Every structure is written in structure tokens, then in C-alpha cells.
Amino acid sequence: MTDPVVTSAPPRRAPLWHRLPIVHQLRQSVGLQRGMLIAGLTLTGIFLLTAIFAPVLAPYGFAQLRDDNGFFGAQQAPGGAHLLGTTVGGYDVLSRVIWGTQTALAVIVVAVMLSIFAGVFLGLISGYIGGWLDRVLVVIADAVFAFPTLLLAIVAAIVISGGQSTLFGGVLAAAVSITVVYIPQYFRVIRAETVRIKSEAYVESAKVIGSSTSRIMFRHVLRNATRTLPLIFTLNSSEAILTLAGLGFLGFGIEPTSAAEWGYDLNRSISDVTSGIWWTSVFPGLAIVLVVLGITLVGESLNDLADPRLRTRRKADSPTSGVATADDAAPVTAATSATDSTGAPA
Amino acid sequence: MRFIIVRFLLIFPTIFILVTMVFLLMRSIGDPITAALGGRLSAQQLAERIEAAGYNRPLIVQYFEYIGQVATGNFGTAISDGRPVSQLLLTYGGATLELAFYALLVAFVVGIPLGMVAAYLRDRWPDAVLRVVAILFYATPVFFAGLLLKLVFSVWLKVLPVAGRASTRTELQMGKLENRTGIYLIDAIQLGSPAAISDVLQHAVLPGLALGLLTAGVFLRLVRTNVIGTLSMDYVDAARSRGVSEFRLVRKHAYKPALIPIITVIGLQIAVLLGGAVLTETTFEWKGLGFKLAEYLSARDFVAVQGIVALLAVIVALSNFIVDILAAVIDPRVRY
């Protein structure tokens, strides 16, 4: 997040540790905003740790129906051997909630990676080169952007996996479906930034001294256009989880024997709810809510800290944070207001 | 006037791009007959059906035929039950429209006042609580919100119905109406029976809440940010220096300009609402377009799925057009 082209160099640069993305914001924040950021980071941290240590934490496998004492039995109330009860299919609820973090994390990583690469690349090309290609891409991105994301994801899921599938195919299908939907968002932001940066003096200087187009694009423009990415990244991760759950809920998720997926579990619990069996829906649902809440809190805080109108100021400004603030403010505001006016993320 | 014409013409490329994308994507996995009936019919029968439906012709021919059909309002015929998709709009569209209306109502009633409160009490604890609430509304998938509401109000407290749009009795009564609209609230009013009206409204509460709270969170955030923005404007400072109270500043001065972005966002929210309607309708067995879509999905009837998705693309494009015109009428700055 450091700016390679600083016009007026700060008197003394803060240590590297303080300039790292999250750490920088954490130091910059005060009061409530710091509280929200810390809460978000904690929830996200728990989510990541659960995903990594799922094999250790989960009492049973996600597709395990029986142990040495025989079958678990369907719809067992919480308590005893099954802390959170069992589902209508006879799975252990706690184990499926824990294993579900792995599926969610895998989908986020693949989906966000894919959409960042595709969206950033297209946005950069479109914004820098312009012309008819730019116009066509903008019209397509706008059309896709205005359409219900879930419906598009359904169509993509049908195409990729024809419906249900294995862990690898299912994760990939969900991730690609989500990617198709989110490319336009990255595209729009990066394109807007690129168009703005293109007219900056340092890009012209680079042209004058004879730098190649690709060098200008990737060294000068891309470096400066990506400062808003951490923000969109967090917002899209949470949307990816919601879309995955939505697909699972409609029966386009991953088979229960291939992986644990919260949306699928919720779908199976619709009829349970009517008969008062609450544990099969409440726990996977809470897992979704907490993970999305955590990631969104981080994204929200980053957004507010990047926008001087929304940032709570520290009472007495320290010299280093003052410089960083003035330096960061302007371009980020332009990009965030671009996302804000569309109502993203929610 | 020029704005309206230009904006109207922009509808067509949007619809065209979406319909083309959906067509190409859906056809890239093969013909819909095999997808729906493969395994249930012999290879011979399948080939005959494919031949009869014309799916063995070159893709480009099928594509132009399809575009022509969509242009004349023909969205194809479902394979599983043989119903034309455009007819589904008449039968089930009313239900989805009604659900979207309730959801928007909830969003307005909950989102806008809370957003103003949050802006007024900026950076104090009620603001913090409200902001977390807004994120919670967003973080809760509509189907989980629906299941929770169902669990609490229908199963535990037993004060509201579990699912459906009306009780069987009311449905029967409304079935006798001559000019049914499919929008149950209007039909119940036509019946003139208070019992029917209250029955319909009782069924609407939970689905409306489940879907509406999602958008309420969006409105809350938007109103908060914009009121904070307008509160620092010169004219508000001027009013403040005249001794106008902080509360009145929010209520009278900062509030109206903050509502303009809401209108623009409603356009985008229509897409969100339609996506959410698919999930809400499935959760509450609310028999609308989304419920039908989910049914066709599980029947692997991809002609119907493609048709409904294309139909929704048209609805989204049209409603965005209307919203943009409204926004231009209210705020002259957005015209081009």
C-alpha cells in the first residue's frame, strides 16, 4: 500500500511494520472504529484458524454417519456425544459446521483470486487503451452488474458442473460462478482508477522518456491503481460466502459426501424448522452470519479509514500519521465513492 | 425528453447482452432435451425429440431464432410441464411483485429512520449498535433470516403462519373472483372481506421481513453516510449558526438531499430483491417466479430456467429505466 511516487517525501518514513496494510489502519483507528476493526479481525481470525485446524477440531468427519457405537441417528437433540445434535441425514452438526469453514475458505480464495486477476487485467487494458474495446467492455460490465448475481451464478453453476459435484469440482464451480459475477466490480474500479492515473504527470513523463506501453501499464499505472483492492477484496469475500450459501440452498452446491457446505445444510433443514427442530438450521446459519460479519467489519473499517469524511480523527495528530493521511486520502476517496454510489457492498 | 429517449434506447443493449450470454452459456453444455430427459428416454426417442425441437441445427441459426422469439415476447416453453414461460409471468409474477413491494416497504420503514438516528448520534454507542445491525442485516442470508423468523414466530410463538401466501379458505374465496390480479392483497380487498385481508397480510409479514431487512441495512448505511455528508455542508452550517437545533437540522435540512441517492440505489436493489426473492420464495413456499425457478432447476428443465432468467433480465432493465427517470425528475443534475 506504499506509494512509489511520492511527490513530497515525508521527513521520516515509519517502520515497515507500521506501513503493512492492516497494521497501518489498526494504528490509524481510534475509539469505535478501532473496536469494529478489532472485532472484525478477531472473527476473521477465528474463521481462518478453524478452517486450518478443522481436522483437529471436528469430533467427526463431515460425511461420517456412524462410529464404534453404531449410527448417530437422525435429528438427535444437542448434547451428549453430539454437542450440537445431528441433522436429518444423520450427520453431526458441529462437525459439519467446522468442516464448512474449509469449503468456504477454499471458495473465497479461488473466487477472489480469479476475479482479481481477470477483473484487474481487463480493467487495466480497457482503461489504458480505451477506444471501442473499452466501450464494449463497459457496456457488458454494466449489463452484468445490474443483473441479480445469484441468478447469474446459477446459470454459471449449471454450465460448469451441471448441478451437484465432487469437492474439487464443486468448489471450482462455485468459485467460477462467483467470479463471473464479480469481474465487473473489479473491472469498474480498476478502470476508473486507470483512466484517472493515465492523465497524471508521471505517466506522461514515462512516455516521454520512451517507456513501453506494457511497462507503463504494469509498473506505473497498476501499482497505483491497486490501492483500493484490499477493500473490494474483503467486501467480495463476504459476498462470495453468501453466494456459495445461496447456491447450496438452491441445490447447486457440493454433495454432502464430498464436503460440508452450510447452504446445503440449511436447505435440508427447512422442514426441520416447521417441526421445531432448531439446531440443524441455527448453527450452520450462525456460522455464515459470523464469518460474513467478521469479514464485512474489516472491510467497512478499512473503507471508513480510507475516507477522511468518515474517519474519526485522533485528538492530537502524530506527524507520521498526519503525512500518511494526507497522502492516502484523495485517490482512495475517489475510488470508494465510486463503489459507494452503487450501494456496494450491501 | 432527450434524456428519456437516450436512456430508453440503452435498455436494449443491456437486455441483448444478458440474453446472449445466458443463451451461449446454457447451450455450451449441450441440448436442453438431453439435460432434462437424458436417461429416462431411449437414445432413439431423445434424438426424435431433439430433431422436433430443432436443437440439432447449427447454433447460430438457433441463436437468431431465439433472439427473434425474445424480441416478440416469446421466452420459450418449459420441457417438464409444457407451459410457455411468458405465461408464467402472468400466473406467478404478481406474487413476486407483491413480495418485492412488502420488502421495499420494510426497507423504507426500518432503514431510513434508523439511518437518520445513526447519523444524528454519530460516533456514539447507538450509532455503533446500528452500524453493526446494518452489517448483520447484510450478513444474514435471506433464507436463514426466513428460517429464524419462522422458528420464532410460527413454531415457538405460533402467532404467524409458517408458509404460503394465504390460507386455503382465502385461496378458495379468491378463486371465485372474476378479475383476479394474482396480487393477493388487491384480490382480498376486492373480496371486501376483512378476514381475507388480515389473513393475506399475516402471511406476508415474515417473507416481507426476511427479504426487506436485507435492503433495510443498505438504506440505513446509505442514509447515515449521506446525512453525515450533508450535515457538513455550508447551508447546514448557516442554519446551525442561526441557532437551529441539531435534531431539526437532521430532520429538516440534511435529510431530504440525503434521500436522492436512495432512489438511485433502489434501481440496483431491484436486482438484489429479485435474487433474494428466489431464496425467500423457496423458504416460505411463496408461489412466485422465484419459487417456480427453483422448481424448474431441480427438474433440470433448462429451457424454462433460461426463459425465466431472460424474462427477469427484461424486468430488471425496465425497472432500472423507470428508476433512472424518477431520479432525473427529482434531481436535475443526473440528466445527460
| Pairwise CB contact (< 8 Å): B139 & A292 | yes
What pLDDT, on the 0 to 100 scale, is given for residue A339?
Answer: 38
Name the percent of chain B lying above pLDDT 70: 96
Interface residue of B135, B148, B154 to substitute, partner A, most A CBs within 10 Å:
B135
What pLDDT, on the 0 to 100 scale, is given for residue B158?
Answer: 81
The dihedrals phi and psi of A204, each to the nearest 5 degrees, come to -65, -40
pLDDT of residue B126 exceeding 60: yes
pLDDT of residue A327 exceeding 60: no
As for the ipTM of the complex, it is 0.83
Interface residue of A38, A43, A88, A158 to substitute, partner B, most B CBs within 10 Å:
A158
CB < 8 Å from B in window 49-78 of A: none
For B144, which of A289, A340, A345 is closest by C-beta distance? A289
Residues A145-162, mean pLDDT to the nearest whole number: 79
What pLDDT, on the 0 to 100 scale, is given for residue A313?
Answer: 60
Name the packing angle between helices B59-71 and B11-27 (round to 10°). 140
For A148, which of B134, B150, B274 is closest by C-beta distance? B274
pLDDT of residue B319 exceeding 90: no
Least confident of A131-145, A330-344, B60-74, B126-140: A330-344
Interface residue of B16, B26, B143 to substitute, partner A, most A CBs within 10 Å:
B143
Interface residue of A34, A147, A252 to substitute, partner B, most B CBs within 10 Å:
A147
A273 band by pLDDT with thresholds 50, 70 and 90: confident
CB < 8 Å from B in window 213-272 of A: 238, 242, 245-246, 249-252, 263, 266-267, 269-270
- CB of A312 within 8 Å of a chain B CB? The answer is yes
Instruction: Tell me which chain A residues have a C-beta less than 8 angstroms from the C-beta of B153.
Output: none
The average confidence (pLDDT) of chain A is: 75
Per-residue pLDDT of B194-219, as tens digits, reads 888 888 888 888 999 999 998 898 88
Domain limits, chain A: 24-320
| Pairwise CB contact (< 8 Å): A249 & B143 | yes
Angle B62-B67-B68 from CA coordinates, rounded to 5°: 95
What pLDDT, on the 0 to 100 scale, is given for residue A18?
Answer: 67
Distance from CA of A75 to the nearest CA of B (A): 16
What pLDDT, on the 0 to 100 scale, is given for residue A13?
Answer: 61
Instruction: Tell me which chain A residues have a C-beta less than 8 angstroms from the C-beta of B282.
Output: 249-250, 270
Residues A110-146 as b/e (b if ≥16 CB within 10 A, e otherwise) read: bbbebbbebbbbbbbbbbbeeeeebeebbebbbbbbb
A289 band by pLDDT with thresholds 50, 70 and 90: very high
A–B interface: beta-carbon pairs under 8 A: 180
pLDDT of residue A346 exceeding 80: no
Per-residue pLDDT of A174-194, as tens digits, reads 788 778 778 888 888 888 888
In angstroms, the CA A238 to CA A108 distance is 8
Three-state SS annotation for A163-181: CCCCHHHHHHHHHHHHHHH
Residues B233-255, mean pLDDT to the nearest whole number: 79
pLDDT of residue B255 exceeding 50: yes
Residues A86-92, mean pLDDT to the nearest whole number: 75
Instruction: Tell me which chain A residues have a C-beta less than 8 angstroms from the C-beta of B218.
Output: 343, 346
* CATH number belonging to domain A24-320: 1.10.3720.10
Per-residue pLDDT of B270-294, as tens digits, reads 888 888 888 999 888 888 888 988 8
Name the percent of chain A lying above pLDDT 70: 76
- CB of A210 within 8 Å of a chain B CB? The answer is no
Least confident of A186-195, A258-267, B244-253: B244-253
Residues A240-255, mean pLDDT to the nearest whole number: 83
What pLDDT, on the 0 to 100 scale, is given for residue A330?
Answer: 35
Per-residue pLDDT of B144-157, as tens digits, reads 999 999 888 888 88
The average confidence (pLDDT) of chain B is: 82
Instruction: Tell me which chain B residues have a C-beta less than 8 angstroms from the C-beta of A340.
Output: 225
What pLDDT, on the 0 to 100 scale, is given for residue B207?
Answer: 92
User: Please, which residues have CB within 8 angstroms of residue B130's CB and are 6 or more apart in sequence?
Assistant: B114, B115, B117, B118, B220, B224
What pLDDT, on the 0 to 100 scale, is given for residue A315?
Answer: 53
Residues A276-315 as b/e (b if ≥16 CB within 10 A, e otherwise) read: ebbbbbbbbbbbbbebbbbbbbbbbbbbbbbbeebbbeee
pTM of the model as a whole: 0.81
Distance from CA of B164 to the nearest CA of A (A): 13
User: Please, which residues have CB within 8 angstroms of residue B16's CB and are 6 or more apart in sequence?
Assistant: B67
What pLDDT, on the 0 to 100 scale, is given for residue B332?
Answer: 67
What pLDDT, on the 0 to 100 scale, is given for residue B103?
Answer: 92
Residues B295-320, mean pLDDT to the nearest whole number: 85
Least confident of A22-26, A195-199, A327-331: A327-331
